[in-house]
Amino acid sequence: MLDTKFVREKPDEVQKNVDFRGGKVTVKEVLEADSTHRALIQKAENLRAERNKVSSTKPSPEEISRMRALRDELKKVEAELTNSEKTFMGKLARLPNMSSSDMPEGNGDPDHVELAVWLPNEGYLPKSKLGKGLNSAQYMPKKTGLHHVDLGKKLDIIDTEQSALTSGSRFTYMKGDAALLQFALFELLKNKLIAEGFEPMIVPVLVREEVLFGTSHFPEGRDQVYEIETHNVENQQRLFLVGSSEPPLFAYYMNKTLKEENLPKKFFAYTQCFRSEVGSWGKDVRGIKRVHQFDKLEIDALTTEEGSREMMEYLRGINEWLMQKLKLPYRVINKSSRDCGYNATYLQYDLEGWLPTQGEFIELGSNTDAWDYQARRMNIRYLSKDKQKKLAHTVNDTGIPMGRMIITILDNYQNPDGSVTVPEVLRPYLGKDKIVPKNG
């Protein structure tokens, strides 16, 4: 969330950013709600002061009558104050984060800027071959092969038909070597992260509303989140299934003040994630690319106010390390302004793998510098070396979205005979070189 003082002092600058990001609320609306709320605060304070003045001496009958009137009026104003605060905070929360000067302006795929493209056996494409949109697709490998659903069925490792009977559409069973591939991917990245000094965490996947508000998944992404019915929930509290372990990871530090010498904090979690995929009906309905339940290894960090961009680039390096270890073609793009993941974004890179049999890129994750936007909502601070309390910066990264990474491996490593070569780096974990059909 933006600093209210900053919005008041720099309304034109904030509105320019809202337009740049395609925001759904105007600064004028926010400031009007702010003015109404502040006026009510002042009115309530004046009423309390008058009430205290009257009650400081032995009251006359007229003063007793006045105190009753003040009490009733104050009760009414306090109710209005509660509503005005809710209105103001609701509008303020919809203002997007200020944007990095490196964020390209645009409204989707054609405007994303390619930062890097890498091919096995060739390495990075020269910068002269990078561009916008799908520019690099012309340089990517092509081959004939099966869609991952058909290949998974032939290998007897992916079953979306039985999962449809079990849970409905957009669910899957991953079994046998597909499950082993997932475990192997986890082990590979987990070992790397621990060697790099990251702290592993096991986190709740049911969280309170304020946690999702804190990470900016609420209010704008609320329709993507499953809410749990409260009648069987302890204390009737509202709980939500997470679409990423990012919210519970950062919530571990909510309302805490850290020491600068203990930053950055680097941590990761491996969880099941849940998304309603509202707005995606009819899109990617076949297969496991866009599902309601999936597994993901999330990598996050807390930094000083100077350290978030460096951390973002560092996490990008880990993403690229993984893809190069797996020898998978990929690209990194700088997301355009009106297609960022959520309001908290200050700058966002996406990692996309290449599917040679489909002739398309597949999004494998986002790497986002959220500046102090999330930390302000979650009250995550640090004590600087000169003893000043400052807001921390947050950086979040999709380490591995398991289903999509397995799609990318199957597509790139499938063979004409229907088998799949196991990436060399994963063979020690699987104990085999190939995944073959059951009758193969």
What is the tens place of the pLDDT at every residue in 42-61? 999 998 888 887 777 777 77
Domains and CATH numbers, the chain: 4-92 (1.10.287.40), 109-435 (3.30.930.10)
Cis bond leading into 416, ω under 30°? no
3-state class (DSSP) for residue 276? coil
Residue 279 pLDDT: 56
Rounded CA separation 250/227 (Å): 20
Identify any residues that bridge with 24 across adjacent strands, giving them in sequence order: none
How confident is the model over 230-252, as pLDDT tens digits? 777 778 889 999 999 999 999 99
Residue 213 confidence (pLDDT) above 60: yes
Rounded CA separation 206/437 (Å): 38
291 labeled binding residue: yes
How confident is the model over 270-315, as pLDDT tens digits? 999 999 986 555 555 678 999 999 999 999 999 999 999 999 999 9
Rounded CA separation 318/227 (Å): 33
Task: Give the residue from 413, 400, 431 showing the smallest Cα distance to 323.
Answer: 400
**What is the arithmetic mean of pLDDT over 183-203?**
99
Give me the chain's average pLDDT, please: 95
Q: Measured in whole angstroms, how far is the alpha carbon of residue 128 from the centre of its chain?
A: 32
Residue the block writes with tokens 């002042």:
42
Residue 66 pLDDT: 78
287 labeled binding residue: no
276 labeled binding residue: yes
147 labeled binding residue: no
246 labeled binding residue: no
Residue 179 confidence (pLDDT) above 70: yes
How confident is the model over 388-411, as pLDDT tens digits? 999 999 999 999 999 999 999 999
Residue 440 pLDDT: 53
The order of strands in the sheet holding 265-274 is 123-124, 113-119, 330-334, 347-355, 360-369, 393-401, 293-303, 265-274, 199-201
396 labeled binding residue: yes
Residue 156 confidence (pLDDT) above 80: yes
13 labeled binding residue: no
Note if the pTM is more than 0.85.
Answer: yes
Residue 216 confidence (pLDDT) above 70: yes
Pairing of strands 265-274, 199-201: parallel
Residue 205 pLDDT: 98
**What is the arithmetic mean of pLDDT over 103-120?**
97
Instruction: Specify the range with the lowest mean pLDDT, choosing from 215-219, 339-343, 375-379.
Output: 339-343
106 labeled binding residue: no
How confident is the model over 6-33, as pLDDT tens digits? 999 999 999 999 999 999 899 999 999 9
pLDDT confidence of 209, banded at 50, 70, 90? Answer: very high
Cα maximum dimension of the chain: 99
Extended strands (E) in 177-311 = 199-201, 206-208, 239-241, 257-259, 265-274, 293-303
363 labeled binding residue: yes
Task: Give the residue from 258, 272, 270, 196 showing the smallest Cα distance to 394.
Answer: 258
**Those residues with Cβ within 8 angstroms of residue 382's Cβ, 6 or more apart along the chain or in another chain:** 257, 258, 259, 260, 262, 263, 302, 304, 389, 390, 392
Alpha-carbon distances, residue 27 vs 6, 47, 347, 427 (angstroms)? 11, 30, 21, 55
Pairing of strands 257-259, 381-383: parallel
Rounded CA separation 135/348 (Å): 19
